[in-house]
Amino acid sequence: MCKPLIKDIPSIKKILEDTKNIVTFKQSMPFLRPFFKILGVNVEELDSILAGSNVDELVRQARELANIPDRFNSIFADRGWIIYDLMNLEVAKAAIEKAEAGDLDQAEAYLVDYYSVETAKWKLQTMDGVEAFRLRMPLAQKALKDYEEERYHACIPVVLALLDGLVQELQQKGFFSESVNLEAWDSIAAHSQGLMALNNIFKKGRYKTTTEQITIPYRNGILHGMDLGYDNKIVAAKTWAALFATRDWAIKAEKGLLTAPPEETEKTLGELLQQLKENEDDKKKLEQWKPRNIEIGIDIPQTEEPELFTDGTPERRLAEYLKYWKVKNYGYMARYISPMLGVPDKRRITWIRDVSGFEILESFIFIAINDEAPAISNIQTELVLQEQDKKVKKIAKFRMINVGSDGNPAVRGKPNSEWFITKWDISHN
């Protein structure tokens, strides 16, 4: 019996089906054109959209992306790596290519490098979207500091314990339990070939004392003092990766989404045509996009009034967010945080208050703006904060992402899209 594939989960399958429907529609257009004219459809506009769409390339890319999760897990799951929602697909693809070229060790080294301190720091921020992890965050931050200082002997047991406790709180069975169920409907990480594969490997009994370096975070061997050669970066990176992969399952568990919801109705022909038109518009915007060369104080003002910035820009949205911070309006601040962080709506205001409420923002100015991609901009600011009895200046770097009405990244300028804060770092000036 064939193992179930990740590419067959509903969200990925739907993408493949939509691209297939577009191909079928384009092939049927010569026969449908007379009927569309009778119905009053603008056939010329439809022909123009279809002519400008590289359907074959669209299908090729969709199939390639859909196959990456299965290819990745088939190669790396036995070594303690699985793919998950927030993992960089380009990194996964590059690792696959290195492994398929015959150098699996080099591919693993590449994955270890991916889990740099900065990557771990950003991904740990996203764990705040899991309510059950918030009480565990202080210990996780300490483990991250140990990871940064290469104290792997200290951070690995802590992260393993936090991972076990997180699952225990949500399912009354720890991550390493024999009877735990880490599967979820429509999830890449919580697929049967995902987290359960890590569970089977990490929980293996280790009954003999070994001093040789290991490359798998065997929970029992490490915490029971049998595997003494666990103190290395590859085991630490795999431990962090397992924690971040579990985030997908944990969010679904908290929202009651572990099982399939009622089936949705299929898209109508009109909806497919509208989607095709939007795809074509996005393609044109992508082709026309180029990063802005912005000089603060000349191209845009340095001052902090949002109304002085162009509507629909990341700097306008950030200025609005910071202005609300000044007046401690945490409710409005919460509206500017990216949904991709996974913070539930009902918890977002409390989360913002916990993150920002201990400091009072007096003023701010923009220092630099870098348009990294069509949907991403990085903005550097200088904040003047009131901390207890003194004012301090801090440099804050914000990562902004433009999100469409469907919740996915959208090219800037797309109708009904908005900029959100997806990452920030604050340091002393």
Three-class SS of 312-340: CCHHHHHHHHHHHHHCCCHHHHHCCECHH
Q: Which tens digits make up the pLDDT trace of 284-306?
A: 777 788 899 999 988 888 877 88
SS3 content of the chain, % helix, strand, coil (to 5): 55, 15, 30
What is the structure's pLDDT at 43? 58
Q: Inform me whether the pLDDT recorded for 30 exceeds 70.
A: no
pLDDT of residue 58: 63
pLDDT at 39: 42
Q: What confidence category does residue 66 fall into, taking pLDDT thresholds of 50, 70 and 90?
A: confident
Res. 272: pLDDT tops 80: no
Write down the mean pLDDT value for the chain. Answer: 86
Give the C-alpha separation, 182 to 190, whole Å: 6
Average pLDDT on 337-348 reads 74
pLDDT of residue 2: 64
Task: For residue 70, give the nearest of 238, 188, 216 by alpha carbon.
Answer: 188
User: 415: pLDDT confidence band, cut at 50, 70 and 90?
Assistant: confident
Average pLDDT over residues 151-165: 98
| Cβ neighbours of residue 327 closer than 8 Å, sequence gap 6 or more | none
Q: Which domains does the chain show, CATH number per domain?
A: 6-255 (no CATH), 293-428 (3.10.450.50)
Give, in order, the Cα–Cα distances in Å from 28 to each of 22, 46, 47, 244: 10, 13, 12, 45
The pLDDT value recorded for residue 28 is: 57
- What's residue 38's pLDDT? 43
pLDDT band of 251, cuts 50, 70, 90: very high
In the chain, pLDDT over 90 holds for what percent of residues?
51
pLDDT at 388 over 90: no
Q: Residue 350 is which amino acid?
A: T
